[in-house]
Amino acid sequence: MADGRWSPGHVSPEVAEFQPALDVVEPARQRRLTVLLRFLLLLPHFVVLFFLCVVAAVMVVVGWFSALVLGRLPDPVFRFLAGRLGYQTRVLANEMLLVDRYPPFSFRAPGDYPVRVEVRPTGLNRLAVLFRLLLMIPALVVQALAVTGWFTLSFVWWLVTLILGRMPKPLFEATAATLRHQMRFEAYVSMLTPAYPKGLFGDDGLEAVPYGNGSATRPLIMSRAGGTFVVLFLVLGLASSVTWSTVPHDDEPPGTYRLHR
């Protein structure tokens, strides 16, 4: 399932298995009013996403057992999980200031919407499905650090975008790479793809693109400054995690503070 299907173009036999693709059309400008009120405007979407995530958790369990037997996800499960992934990614793209256009309340975005996700139905390795929880741990760590790092300084990114009326190109690249890695991680966990998430530091320029000129993120060519931002996200995420694990919390039982010291 894809939000607007494209032909993958010419793919060399040496190219690795298809990674879920994210296309983001970089806006020239963003309206400062919508940037100012971005979080409030997205509150209805956050409520919808909460309930969708509850249903998705059940569907992933159903899909896991089905994939062990069938070697693939049943079509209804795939359609729901792929639709939810696309919807969630569009909301996150708007929240992370990549696009200005308000996301629709729909699993399938309009053809001209600036954020599109492409995943392709494919067979799954039963052994990899069986050990999916263990296999996903390294990708989970990377994804958690990058996303946490981005949100640690989200106020700064918001303020910069509000003042300039746009997101600076290196920050856009790093933010898009973070969102794409998060999307690929979700797709892997949901068994929408057997491809292990990668590409946090961009593509090498050889990735197949749709007909035309592709988009700002397909392929995602990372500048040196963009790569520096990604490293910053990871470092901030690590620092936040260490701080959280070492600072005592008021609701912890007596004696916990001494263990942290």
Report the pLDDT value the prediction gives residue 252, as an integer from 0 to 100.
Answer: 53
Which residue blocks in the chain are alpha helix, DSSP H? 32-36, 38-70, 75-95, 126-130, 132-135, 137-152, 154-164, 169-189, 224-246, 256-260
- Give the contacts of 177 (CB within 8 A, at least 6 positions apart): 199, 200, 201, 202, 220, 222, 226, 230
pLDDT at res. 243: 81
How large a percentage of the chain has pLDDT more than 70?
A: 84
How many angstroms separate the CA atoms of 114 and 23, rounded?
7
Phi, psi of 100, rounded to the nearest 5 degrees: -100, -25
Tokens standing for 223? 């500048």
> How many Cα atoms sit within 13 Å of 171 on the Cβ side?
19
What is the C-alpha to C-alpha distance for residues 210 and 162, in angstroms, rounded to an integer?
32
- Distance CA(135)–CA(125), nearest Å, equals 13
d(CA 94, CA 165): 14
User: What pLDDT shows up at residue 77?
Assistant: 96
Q: Quick one: pLDDT at residue 10? A: 39
pLDDT of residue 101: 95
* pLDDT the model gives residue 256: 44
Q: What are phi and psi of 246, to 5 degrees?
A: -105, -15
Q: Kindly write down the DSSP assignment for every residue of 219-239, as one continuous string.
A: T----HHHHHHHHHHHHHHHH
Cα 132 from Cα 48, distance rounded (Å) = 27
Place of tokens 């990899």: 128
Instruction: Give the pLDDT of the chain (261 residues) as one tens digit per residue.
Output: 445 333 333 344 444 578 999 999 999 999 999 999 999 999 999 999 999 999 999 999 999 999 999 999 999 999 999 999 999 999 999 999 999 999 999 999 888 999 999 999 999 999 999 999 999 999 999 999 999 999 999 999 999 999 999 999 999 999 999 999 999 999 999 999 999 999 999 887 555 455 445 677 888 899 999 999 999 999 999 998 888 767 665 555 554 443 343
* pLDDT on residue 247: 63
Give Cα 57 to chain centroid, integer Å.
17
- Beta-carbon-side half-sphere exposure of residue 232 (alpha carbons within 13 Å): 16
pLDDT at 15: 47
